[in-house]
Amino acid sequence: MLHVVDGVRIGVAQAGIRKADRKDLTVVLIDEGSSVSGVFTQNRFCAAPVQVCREHLDKGTGIRAMVVNTGNANAGTGAEGLRRARETCVALAKLLHIEPNQVLPFSTGVIMEQLPHDRVIAGLPAAIAAAGNHASAQQWVEAAEGIMTTDTVPKAASTQVQIDGVTVSVTGISKGAGMIRPNMATMLGYVATDACVTPAVMKALSLALAEGSFNRITVDGDTSTNDSFVVIATNKASHAPINSLQSAEGQALLQAMLQVARQLAQAIVRDGEGATKFITIRVEGGRHTAECRQVAYAIAHSPLVKTAFFASDPNLGRILAAVGYAGITDLDQTGIDLYLDNVHVAIQGGRHPDYREEDGQRVMQQAEITVRVVLGRGTAADTVWTCDLSHDYVSINADYRS
């Protein structure tokens, strides 16, 4: 069940951006007085809409609308791509009687093709009309479908939390299935709440949510040119404004929003192109969380590890090899333990004397698997979510533009 977020209205339309007869244009209308923050890709070859979003958020004039198109990423398009992204903002602003820098543009799809912004602009009135005058849960459902590219299922999540005795709603959507390793700093994520949050807290809130969710997933290790994650607080709820994430109210909101963000992030992994298995990689016993995540990503990005999971082949030496080349130069292999779910595979860097291959294979055949590595270097820990690598991944990406 998705909850309505008072202050956010969404409309979806068909603009024929890449394919006919599909909803590919989404407009999000945000009430005046809302607080908005975003976190974006660290890919230096970032898309035109990412550049424009950063500019408009930096102006601090109050974001009132977002426009999202699928089918074309408007990345690798140079000065002309920037011009088209800005013209889209101008067109939507004119229709809504707001300023262009109060609009955030987003694009996802094929790279190095100019955005057919004339089609985007022509579709804006229909999308605005679809948003209507009232917010509804169905609008979020349609938006989750409207921002899809190679996704096989729409991705949406929602929850509610009590803050100062007031019921606060949190709802979000995301898209992504391939070219996924958000490094925030091709996925899009939007999470909104009607909670009251001061503008000074919004940046910290969006960073904390990204770090705890979208920055913990990978499908193929490719950081997209278009990765964007936007957090909206409409300030409609009747509780006192949250001015610190460290307060009890701030922590309650953070945990509720983190629950939604993690559901959306994990849904991307579960829908990974050609994925058949969802894999949690937990690295413990590190000196700090950064090296734990470094090891986790080395395992998650290994084609040999990922294909072994697809084949349900307990060739688990591949995991130990990935731990070894993760880049920890003073790593002592005799301190490493490896677990596959509850099966103790390796102890002190060598095969556990009680480990049996049939036990490993039993776990490898599951749809959801946890890999746990203990480094024996300290008390830090971190987790990454990934998937296997199948024949279909190659087929999907070989035929992506056809």
Active-site residue identified among 108, 186, 218, 223: 186
Q: For residue 181, what pLDDT band results from cuts at 50, 70 and 90? A: low
Please name the amino acid found at residue 295.
Answer: V
**CATH superfamily membership of 8-270:** L-amino peptidase D-ALA esterase/amidase (3.60.70.12)
Query: Average of pLDDT values for 373-391?
Result: 94
> How many C-beta atoms lie closer than 10 Å to residue 42's C-beta?
12
Domain ranges of the chain: 8-270, 278-398
State the alpha helices, DSSP H only, in 198-245: 199-212
Q: What is the mean pLDDT of residues 372-391?
A: 94
Q: How far is CA 240 from the centre of its chain?
A: 30
Flag the least confident range among 148-152, 367-371, 378-382: 148-152
- What's the chain's Rg over C-alpha atoms? 22
Q: With bands split at pLDDT 50, 70 and 90, how would you rate the model's confidence at 71? A: very high
Asked about 383 being catalytic, the answer comes back as: no
The length of the chain in residues reads 402
Question: Span 237-251, mean pLDDT?
Answer: 97
Average pLDDT over residues 318-345: 97
The CATH class given to the 278-398 domain equals alpha beta
* pLDDT, mean of residues 223-235: 90
The predicted-structure confidence for 74-104, as pLDDT tens digits, reads as follows: 999 999 999 999 999 999 999 999 999 999 9
Q: Does pLDDT of 267 surpass 60? A: yes
Cα 231 to Cα 234: distance, rounded to the nearest angstrom: 10
Three-class SS of residue 190? strand
Distance CA 19, CA 2 (A): 29
Q: Does position 179 have pLDDT exceeding 70, yes or no?
A: no
Answer yes or no: is pLDDT of 187 > 90: no
Mean pLDDT of 294-321: 95
Residue 402 has pLDDT above 70, yes or no: no
- The secondary element (H helix, E strand) that includes residue 343 is strand 343-347
Residue 185: pLDDT band with limits 50, 70, 90: very low
Tell me the mean pLDDT in the region 216-233: 85
pLDDT of 260 over the 70 cut: yes
- Residues contacting residue 395 through CB under 8 Å, at least 6 positions apart: 274
Q: Which of 248, 261, 135, 246 is nearest to 194 (CA)?
A: 135
Confidence of residue 391 (pLDDT cuts 50, 70, 90): confident
- Mean pLDDT throughout 273-294? 94
Question: b/e for 305-330, b at 16 or more Cβ within 10 A?
Answer: bbbbbbebebebebbbebbeebebee
- Asked if the model's pLDDT at residue 119 lies above 90, the reply is yes
pLDDT digits over 121-133, tens only? 999 999 999 999 9
Q: What is the pLDDT of residue 297?
A: 94
- The rounded percent of the chain whose pLDDT value lies above 90 is 84
Give pLDDT, residue 218: 86
Question: And the tokens for 181?
Answer: 């390793």
Question: What does pLDDT average to over the chain?
Answer: 93
